[in-house]
């Protein structure tokens, strides 16, 4: 059985009723009730003014979660490779382009177009942080969190480097919402390292498994996990929040899931 | 890195279905670009359309995946015995030990563009026959290939615009080195759609004629479509002399602008240097550079600056986008296959449509084919968001490892 291991040095979290990692730990561990409310996306202060104006929801979401994880890890984002994983690009932007292309006026704006690429968040991220490092930009539909985690772990293990995983999804408006009902913006970021550093929170060992994915006890949190691809990573965060060594199974593809052994540091 | 063997590969683009047609087109300097008559597009431009995509029928049990992107994927997968090679690899390694890494920028978005023309006039709903997951979603092309082959191992789409299907080689290398898989199906598929045609037009980056990379009068891209695939395996002890190996991969980001390259090609320079370093090669050991060469003013200028910095002015190079058009998320895969053909058949393909080389770019840009032994080549792929990827390929009989085995 092949396993991939890394240390988690920082966590970023933003979603409905989950405003950041420090305050969300009590919710995930069951010490405080989960009260969903619409995700509030902060303005991306790190971007130059022109890019800030042009940025869309998935950019704001990714920057907020990624920077939270990296700050917690005490790292410099410019030095880190990155893995961006999302089911789709920015939902609102995609809808507006499709609407225009079906109309009599197909002249979409340059900003609309460059914001339509799946790697829009990765592009703005590198502009904001100055990172000229490699970034992998992935999609695996509902398996996107697992695909991103595997890619990030192979960077850590094979290239012996720290990296940051940014798994983020944004909702489509109608009518695409009806076809892909992602209810709200949600993102998880993890700063990962090959060696144990001063900020290490946990050591994870990941392997492929046939076992079923763990469910969350709280019904509303479980609904969130099912509804948003990036939220499939929540059982891992819950495991860390519970502050005890444990095994969790994360959802991945229909043919295989990810077994994660969590050892707290 | 340990060299990886491209045990099988294939490409389908506007210049041909499969390797024989592609090689013949390159040798005959035949372009696949024609005035745009795609769908209802009313732009004065040339496109590289693959003939017969609409006639491709997906297997009945995969009918939910039916869209132009997946039809093009299937057309590509069934050339050159590639699908049979994948099935043989499954028999050898097991379906869970083969990774799937496909690059695309637009996947099946055309299906959604068409569905938006058929919204319910009262509710605005999309038509009932529209299936998001298996057509529009970025992953759908890999999901289709997964189901087509019955692969059960790790699978992902890399979607970093026009570097996507070069970057897949990097993801596959890491997962193979990590021991999670024994082989990888890599490649890229991008099909024509309105988003890219009107999008690039909005940026003023679409030429009204067949694109002219590195020409003094170049004025934009011609958009194409393509499907290109390779089966990556660990290098066995004994290989044919003309077997093609992947020796190095360099990946970087510009950190500069969403739709313009770094003006000095800094990110491109880093990607090429890192690819050479991973391959353990000096720039003088590269016989040919397959340029990204999109034929926009800024892209060709930035790439030429980066190449001059790393290689000087004497390295033979060309862009094949004058033949295929810019196949966007499939461009890296098409470039890899053209490089593999060049290595096996001793061909440095000329760039097409270029009448007067831009003298300020200062490269040995090939306007005529060269037939000569080719040992090692580098292929560039760059994209929106400032994403860069360079790949180094070599003939098996021209790698250091081979030399060590012989002596």
Per the structure, the count of domains in chain A is: 1
- Residue B264, judged by CB atoms within 10 A of its CB (0-12, 13-18, 19+), counts as middle
Residue B401: pLDDT band with limits 50, 70, 90 = low
Query: Which range has the worst mean pLDDT, A1-10, B209-218, B221-230, B281-290?
Result: A1-10
CATH code of residue B291: 3.40.47.10
- What part of B 365-404 touches A (C-beta under 8 Å)? 383-387
In a domain, A209, yes or no: yes
**pLDDT of res. A54:** 87
Residues with Cβ within 8 Å of residue B330, at least 6 apart in sequence: B13, B103, B104, B164, B165, B187, B188, B189, B190, B225, B226, B227, B228
- What part of B 150-169 touches A (C-beta under 8 Å)? 152-161, 167
Residue A261 has pLDDT above 60, yes or no: yes
Residue B406 has pLDDT above 70, yes or no: no
CATH code of residue A246: 3.40.47.10
Quick one: average pLDDT of B179-192?
98
**Inter-chain contact A138–B116, Cβ cutoff 8 Å?**
no
pTM: 0.98
In 3D space, the residue among B280, B305, B314 whose CA is nearest the CA of residue B382 turns out to be B305
Residue B407 has pLDDT above 90, yes or no: no
B389 in active site: no
> Which of the residues B8, B136, B262, B292 is marked catalytic?
B292
Domain of residue B324: give its range: 4-406
Kindly report, residue by residue over B59-74, the tens digit of the pLDDT. 999 999 999 999 999 9
Select the residue from A84, A106, A180 to test the B interface by mutation, using most B Cβ atoms within 10 A. Answer: A106
In a domain, A102, yes or no: no
Residue B402 has pLDDT above 80, yes or no: no
DSSP B210-252: S--TTBTT---B-EE-EEEEEEEEEPPSS--TT-EEEEEEEEE
- What is the SS3 assignment for B51? coil
Residue B247 has pLDDT above 60, yes or no: yes
Per the structure, the count of domains in chain B is: 1
Residue A244 has pLDDT above 50, yes or no: yes
Between A251 and A2, the higher pLDDT residue = A251
Q: b or e along B293-305 (b: 16 or more beta carbons within 10 Å of the residue's beta carbon)?
A: bbbbebbbbbbbb
Residue A37 has pLDDT above 90, yes or no: yes
- For B233, phi and psi rounded to 5 degrees? -135, 160
Kindly report, residue by residue over B26-36, the tens digit of the pLDDT. 999 999 999 99
Domain of residue A44: give its range: 4-90+116-264
- Looking at the partner chain, which of A51, A99, A140 has a beta carbon nearest the beta carbon of B155? A140
Quick one: average pLDDT of A249-257?
97
Select the residue from A111, A137, A149, A152 to test the B interface by mutation, using most B Cβ atoms within 10 A. Answer: A137
B262 in active site: no
Q: For residue B187, what is the enclosing H or E element?
A: strand B183-190
Match 């691809």 to its residue by tokens.
Answer: A229
> Which of the residues B8, B136, B290, B326 is marked catalytic?
B326
In a domain, A100, yes or no: no
Match 């499969």 to its residue by tokens.
Answer: B18
Kindly report, residue by residue over B95-127, the tens digit of the pLDDT. 999 999 999 999 999 999 999 999 999 999 999
Which tokens in the block code for residue B348? Answer: 């440095």
Contacts of A133 in chain B (CB under 8 A): 252-253
ipTM above 0.95, yes or no: yes
**Inter-chain contact B198–A127, Cβ cutoff 8 Å?**
no
Contacts of B111 in chain A (CB under 8 A): none
Q: Is B148 on the interface with A (CB under 8 A)?
A: no
């Amino acid at each position: 059985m092949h396993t991939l291991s890394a240390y988690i040095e920082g966590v970023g979290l933003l979603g409905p009723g989950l405003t950041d990692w420090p305050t969300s730990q009590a919710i995930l561990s069951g010490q405080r009730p989960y009260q969903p409310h619409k995700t509030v996306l902060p303005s991306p202060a790190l971007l130059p003014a022109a890019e800030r104006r042009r940025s869309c929801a998935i950019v704001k979401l990714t920057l907020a979660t990624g920077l939270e994880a990296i700050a917690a890890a005490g790292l410099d984002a410019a030095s880190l490779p990155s893995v961006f994983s999302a089911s789709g690009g920015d939902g609102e932007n995609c809808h507006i382009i499709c609407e225009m292309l079906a109309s009599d006026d197909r002249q979409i704006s340059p900003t609309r177009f460059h914001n339509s690429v799946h790697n829009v968040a990765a592009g703005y991220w590198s502009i904001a942080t100055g990172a000229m490092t490699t970034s992998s930009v992935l999609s695996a539909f509902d398996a996107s969190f697992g695909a991103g985690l595997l890619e990030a772990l192979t960077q850590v293990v094979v290239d012996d480097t720290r990296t940051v995983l940014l798994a983020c999804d944004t909702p489509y408006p109608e009518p695409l919402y009806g076809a892909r009902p992602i209810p709200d913006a949600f993102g998880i970021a993890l700063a990962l390292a090959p060696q144990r550093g001063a900020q290490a929170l946990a050591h994870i060992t990941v392997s492929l498994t046939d076992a079923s994915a763990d469910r969350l006890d709280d019904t509303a949190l479980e609904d969130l996990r099912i509804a948003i691809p990036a939220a499939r990573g929540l059982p891992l965060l819950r495991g860390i929040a519970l502050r005890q060594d444990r095994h969790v199974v994360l959802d991945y593809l229909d043919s295989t899931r990810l077994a994660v052994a969590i050892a707290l540091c | 890195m340990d060299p990886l063997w491209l045990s099988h590969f294939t490409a389908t683009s506007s210049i041909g279905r499969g390797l024989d047609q592609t090689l013949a087109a390159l040798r005959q300097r035949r372009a696949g670009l024609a005035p745009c008559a795609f769908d209802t597009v009313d732009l004065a431009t040339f496109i590289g359309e693959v003939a017969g995509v609409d006639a491709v029928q997906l297997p009945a049990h995969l009918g939910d995946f039916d869209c132009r992107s997946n039809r093009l994927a299937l057309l590509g997968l069934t050339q050159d015995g590639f699908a049979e090679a994948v099935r043989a690899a499954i028999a050898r390694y097991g379906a869970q030990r083969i990774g799937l890494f496909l690059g695309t920028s637009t996947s099946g978005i055309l299906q959604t563009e068409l569905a938006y023309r058929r919204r319910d006039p009262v509710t605005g709903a999309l038509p009932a026959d529209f299936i998001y997951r298996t057509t529009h979603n970025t992953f759908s092309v890999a999901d289709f290939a997964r189901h087509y082959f019955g692969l059960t191992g790790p699978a992902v789409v890399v979607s970093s615009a026009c570097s996507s299907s070069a970057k897949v080689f990097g993801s596959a290398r890491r997962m193979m080195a990590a021991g999670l898989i024994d082989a990888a199906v890599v490649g890229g598929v991008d099909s024509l759609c309105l988003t890219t045609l009107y999008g690039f037009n909005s940026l003023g980056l679409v030429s009204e004629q067949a694109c002219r990379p590195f020409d003094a009068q170049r004025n934009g891209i011609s958009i194409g479509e393509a499907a290109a695939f390779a089966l990556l395996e660990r290098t066995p002890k004994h290989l044919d002399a003309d077997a093609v190996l992947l020796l190095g991969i360099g990946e970087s980001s510009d950190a500069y602008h969403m739709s313009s390259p770094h003006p000095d090609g800094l990110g491109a320079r880093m990607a090429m240097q890192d690819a050479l370093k991973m391959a353990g090669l000096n720039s003088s050991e590269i016989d040919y550079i397959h340029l990204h060469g999109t034929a926009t003013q800024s892209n060709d200028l930035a790439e030429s600056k980066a190449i001059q910095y790393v290689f000087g002015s004497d390295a033979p190079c060309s862009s094949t986008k004058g033949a295929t058009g810019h196949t966007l998320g499939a461009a890296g895969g098409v470039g890899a296959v053209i490089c593999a053909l060049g290595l096996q058949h001793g061909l440095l393909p000329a760039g097409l449509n270029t009448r007067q080389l831009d003298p300020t770019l200062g490269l040995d840009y090939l306007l005529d084919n060269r037939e000569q032994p080719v040992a090692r080549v580098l292929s560039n792929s760059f994209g929106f968001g400032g994403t860069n990827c360079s790949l180094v390929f070599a003939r098996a009989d021209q790698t250091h490892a081979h030399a060590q085995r012989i002596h």
